[in-house]
Structure 1
Amino acid sequence: MFTNSGADDRLREITELFDNHYQAAFRANFQGVNDIQEIEADAVTRLKNITKSYASVQFMEGIKAHEKKRAA
């Protein structure tokens, strides 16, 4: 779980990735040669490269922290 993924610069980074690299797939509604499987491996690789510097915690730890905040 990325702890700062909601920051404006992080959102912009991910949005730009999809806007710049997968426009055809979005315009074609992921049909035909623009099928989701065609972009999946590439998208995962690109996302891993972008997010490797993001602060993160294990998913369940993030859920526990959120629950504590909500209970307070």
Structure 2
Amino acid sequence: MDVLYYWKDVKADMAAGHIGWFRSSRGKLSELSESYPDRIWVIKTPIGKKGSVQLLACLRWSDKAAVKVPVVDVQSTIFYDPAHVQSMWFEGSDSDEAIEMTSKWLREHFSAAVRANFQGDNGIHALRGDTLRQLEKISQNFATRPFLTEKVS
């Protein structure tokens, strides 16, 4: 099982050094943790394209902080390992074709999240089975680079 996470302020968070963790509700984190997730697939809304999403990154889930993080409520924090070999940015996922492909997939599987503008728990979902396989197939269209690089798409 993997996790889909909507990262609204990726550039601001990266610039502020918010690396290695995401906020979540306690209930959602508990629900996800019970299934032992492997990866976190990160999406965002491209500037000027409301209702569309871009596949940004795939990050390795971690049960504890893998890097130094500020004091956070661990019962409502999703941790990831930014230095793990499986933590990567997707290159080329910002093209119109790529955004349409990812957005179509998201609307098909998570239409309520799109309608709710990814607010709160609507921005975090479990990925399993065919839904996950379809996203993995979409991601194969993109080159990758290690997550711990400076350029943020």
User: Under TM normalisation by the shorter chain, which class is it?
Assistant: 0.5 to 0.7
Task: Identify the residue that residue 70 of structure 1 maps to in structure 2.
Answer: none
Task: Identify the residue that residue 128 of structure 2 maps to in structure 1.
Answer: 41
| Number of aligned positions between the proteins | 55
CA distance in 1, matches of 2:145, 2:114: 34
Shift of 1:15: 0.4
Query: Letter of the aligned partner of 1:50 in structure 2?
Result: I
The structure with the largest alpha-carbon Rg is: 1
Structure 2 residues without counterparts, runs of 5 or longer: 1-88, 117-124
Give me the identity figure in percent: 16
Query: Letter of the aligned partner of 2:113 in structure 1?
Result: F
Higher relative contact order (CA 8 A, sep 6+): 1
Q: Where do residues 1-72 of structure 1 align in structure 2 (5 Å cutoff)? A: 1-23=89-111, 25-26=112-113, 36-37=125-126, 40-42=127-129, 43-60=131-148, 63-64=149-150, 66=151
Shift of 1:28: 8.9
Shift of 1:27: 7.8
CA displacement, residues 25-49 of structure 1 (integer Å, 9 cap, x when unaligned):
43896xxxxxx44xx2143322111
Query: Letter of the aligned partner of 1:59 in structure 2?
Result: F
TM-score by length of 2: 0.30
Structure 1 residues without counterparts, runs of 5 or longer: 30-35, 68-72
CA distance in 1, matches of 2:115, 2:103: 18
TM-score by length of 1: 0.56
| Higher helix residue share | 1
CA distance in 2, matches of 1:3, 1:15: 17
